[in-house]
Amino acid sequence: MTKTLRNLPGHLVLVVACLAALFPIYWTVLTSVKSRVDIFAQPPTFWASDPTWDNYAQVLADPEFVRAALVTIVVTLASTVLATFAGALAAYGLVRRGRFGGRGSFDGMLILIRALPGIVLAVPLYKIVVDLGVYDSPVALVVVYAAINLPFAVWLMTGFVQGVPYELEEAARVDGANQAGVLLRVVLPLIGPGLAATTIFVALMTWNEFLIPLVLADRSAKTLPVYVGGFVTSRVINWGGMAAAASIAIVPIALLTSLVQRNLVRGLSSGAIKD
């Protein structure tokens, strides 16, 4: 009884915070099932008495939406694998080899990618991509996304690799395993949870990336964020359609993250934070 009372303020804080977090999401979903007149009704209505599914029908029937969804899935998967692989490998090299020539310049590059606004790179990248004839190609997006997320992957994975006892690797080598074998059979299983956490973070950032596809893609490589952003123009804003597309775009990544969010906290606390 007293314990419940003591915990009351805590619960109160969390409930208020949850409401603040949920309300805009609720409002988006609500907007997606309202008619256009109701969207602008004042005073606002907090419930759709007569929900319409037109907006969803319209969005799902749009071949451009389907294409954007497929492109986003493929590009996210490919670039996440690439960034995580390159990042994990680099993290291993950095941890196990410590100081070596050229390390400073490598670190410097990672810092540059991490801290530079995307647009600074996007201006010359645009020119390169156009000149190479890979403008509007998913491949260009995969490479750029992977590079942009590389620092984060290296940073996260460094913590996990540090957690692998070096003695285990030595023991495997004594047993005659070569370096590839050590990496595959000893290191990989131990950094598994870390790889999972890194993958999810990178996938999340890739899925939501807006500026790069806005600049480097047009039609064949248009991604969902750009598609959703397309509902706003200087002449027409289709709020209902936008809300429907946004609601659909949220689902996969929210599902994925809620499935693994327990690992996310654990992964972060044993990885990045402890180093």
Q: Of 137-166, which residues contact another protein (CB under 8 A)?
A: 143-144, 146-148, 150, 154-155
Please select the residue that binds another protein; options are 73, 74, 93, 162, rule is CB under 8 A: 93
Site for another protein, residues 188 to 247, rule: CB under 8 A: 204, 207-208, 210-211, 214-215, 218-219, 224-226, 228-239, 242-243, 246
The encoded tokens of residue 13 equal 């804080």
Between 192 and 274, whose beta carbon lies closer to another protein? 274
Instruction: Supply φ then ψ for residue 57, to 5 degrees.
Output: -60, -45
97 binds another protein, rule: CB under 8 A: yes
Q: CA 217, CA 247: separation in Å to the nearest integer?
A: 23
| Sole residue written with tokens 């290296």 | 154
174 binds another protein, rule: CB under 8 A: no
CB of 236 to another protein, least distance (A): 5
Pick from 210, 196, 195: nearest CA to 256: 196
Pick from 156, 150, 163: nearest CA to 87: 150
Q: What's the angle, vertex CA 274, arms to CA 115 and CA 261, rounded to 5?
A: 80
Site for another protein, residues 57 to 86, rule: CB under 8 A: 64, 82-83, 85-86
Residue 151: asked if its preceding bond is cis (omega within 30°), the reply is no
177 close to 185: Cβ distance less than 8 angstroms:
yes
Alpha helix stretches (DSSP H) within the chain: 2-32, 36-39, 54-60, 63-97, 103-115, 118-131, 138-162, 166-174, 179-181, 188-190, 192-208, 211-216, 224-229, 239-270
CB of 262 to another protein, least distance (A): 8
Site for another protein, residues 24 to 53, rule: CB under 8 A: 24-25, 27-28, 31, 35-37, 39-44
CB of 222 to another protein, least distance (A): 8
Please select the residue that binds another protein; options are 18, 168, 171, 188, rule is CB under 8 A: 18
Site for another protein, residues 101 to 120, rule: CB under 8 A: 101-102, 105-120
Number of residues that bind another protein (CB under 8 A): 119
CB of 31 to another protein, least distance (A): 7
CB of 206 to another protein, least distance (A): 11
